[in-house]
Structure 1
Amino acid sequence: MKIFLDTANIEQIRNGMKLGLVDGVTTNPTLISKENAKFEERIVEICEAVKGPVSAEVIATDFDNMLSQARELASLNEHVVVKIPMTPDGIRAVKALSEEGIKTNVTLIFSSLQGLLAAKAGATYVSPFVGRLDDVGNDGMQLVAELNEIFGNYGFATEIIVASVRHPRHVLQAAMIGADIATIPYEVLLRLFNHPLTDNGLRRFQNDWQEYERKQRS
């Protein structure tokens, strides 16, 4: 399973890249606004750091303006993937953009039928928001499982990006289901390394080595 970072913080992205685990980035205007960065400049900066898929979202909600903005975003860097909302105009735009060879990520997916429509339109990626579904009492990972089965049934090339990830268990469940990608906040990525038995074991090894050295000096 590929791991994307869901952030616009360039320091977090560079740190993630140093780990050798990050395959791409998803971002949006809200995340970029928190960084006090210019939108286009930050997208290019992220693309240059990652050298992999970087999802950048359109602001428009109507077909014509989504197409125009998508083309502008795609022209910024070869690694840009245009995020398009799951609406009728959005799906029309995805169909047109896919025919132009522009990669798309259909965002705000909350049902398997929405994901099916996006895949039929030629979306490169779909982003089911598992955390937000969990928040309203639904099972977000069940949606991922349904999409994985549907795409397998019909041989869709569309990849599933598990989004709105809140904790390491979401990442584990995504991997067990067979999702293509999980896009996760930087702090969740760091938490994937943690286990109390690992910490205790390392502490014990260090204490044992210090005791060994003490005995050698005595």
Structure 2
Amino acid sequence: MELIIDTVDLSEIKEAVEYMPIVGVTSNPSIVKKTNPKDFFEHMRTIREIIGKDRSLHIQVISKDCDSMVKEAHRILEEIDRQVYIKVPVSYEGIKAIKMLKEENIHVTATAVYDLMQGYMALAAGADYIAPYVNRIGNLGADPMELIYELSNRIIMDNYDTKIVAASFKGVEQIKNALNNGAQAITAPVGILKQIFKNPNIEKAVDDFNADWYSMYGEGKGICDL
């Protein structure tokens, strides 16, 4: 199971990496727009410095034709490093680009997946990660969990070395369901992941434990004070 954050906000990334077991960072043009860095490549290099080489960094191309996608992928790798996962939408041109990039042994994350057959195409093309858009699929009246479940089964049955990185979430319940239905990874905004710890029962449990402790050893006297 991999927990990845969907942001390019440097302060968010620093905090998330410090506090949570985060293994990567994803981005897309809309995510980048929220932060609006003046120097895109310098900003991405700074993210790499923060997360290190052991965590994955996923950066999306913006062109719609295959040749331009591949050129953009090469530029991204030149400006940052060869470990970057190039995010490519699974369009007709995109699937061709994925094939070409995998022939060069470039890491690829197939994104903008709304349909199971898109996922199968990306799987057959050799994508390293496949990103179904959970909330968006649901908004269109389809079942994203069924897609994840079927795609996960196909990965297992055919022994593909590919991971599902579920994306597009509006709440913690969607994340939990995606993981329980076979997604090997999720990418979500930091704010949604922090909601996991907003349960008031957690704070109450800690307060009750502390009250019992202090009743024995004195108010404000912690373990290190014994």
TM-score where L is the length of structure 1 = 0.92
* Equivalent residue for 1:62, pick from 56, 61, 65: 65
For each residue in 1:126-176, what CA deviation from the matched residue of structure 2 results, as whole angstroms up to 9, or x when unmatched? 100001112222221111111101111211111100000221112211222
Task: State the shift of 1:50 in Å.
Answer: 1.4
Residue of structure 2 in register with 1:126 after alignment: 130
Map 1:1-218 → 2, pairs under 5 A: 1-37=1-37, 38-51=39-52, 52-75=55-78, 76-211=80-215, 213=218
- Give the deviation of 1:36 after TM superposition: 2.4
2:110 corresponds to which letter in structure 1? V
Q: Is the 8 A contact 1:131 1:165 kept in 2?
A: yes
CA drift of 1:112 comes to 1.1
Give the letter for the 1:68 counterpart: K
Deviation at 1:78, TM superposition (A): 3.1
The one-letter code of the counterpart of 1:87 is S
Distance of aligned partners of 1:20 and 1:199 in 2 relative to their CA distance in 1, 3 Å threshold: closer
Distance 1:178 1:144 in 2: 6
Output one character per residue of 1:187-214: Cα deviation in whole Å (capped at 9) or x when no partner: 1111123333222111223344455536
Kept in 2, the 8 Å contact 1:128–1:161? The answer is yes
| TM-score using structure 2 length | 0.89
Report deviation, 1:177: 2.0
Distance 1:121 1:99 in 2: 10
Contact 1:5 1:25 in 2 (8 A): yes
Identity, % of aligned pairs? Answer: 30
**For the residues of structure 2 that align with 1:59 and 1:182, how far apart are their CA atoms?**
22
Contact kept in structure 1, 2:165 and 2:187, CA below 8 Å: yes
Q: Distance in 1 between matches of 2:113 and 2:180?
A: 20
* Mean Cα deviation higher: 202-211 or 176-185: 202-211
Contact kept, 8 Å, 2:82 with 2:106, in 1: the verdict is no
Structure 1 unaligned segments of length 5 or more: list them.
none
Amino acid at match of 1:162: A
For residues 83 and 96 of structure 1, the distance between their equivalents in structure 2, rounded to whole angstroms, comes to 13
Q: CA deviation at 1:44?
A: 1.4
Q: Which amino acid aligns with 1:80?
A: V
Query: Shift in Å at residue 111 of structure 1?
Result: 1.0
Please state whether the residue corresponding to 1:147 is helix, strand or coil. helix
Q: Could you tell which deviates more after superposition, 157-166 or 136-145?
A: 136-145
Gaps of 5+ in 2: 222-226
RMSD across aligned C-alpha pairs, in angstroms? 1.7
2 CA distance for matches of 1:12 and 1:58?
Answer: 23
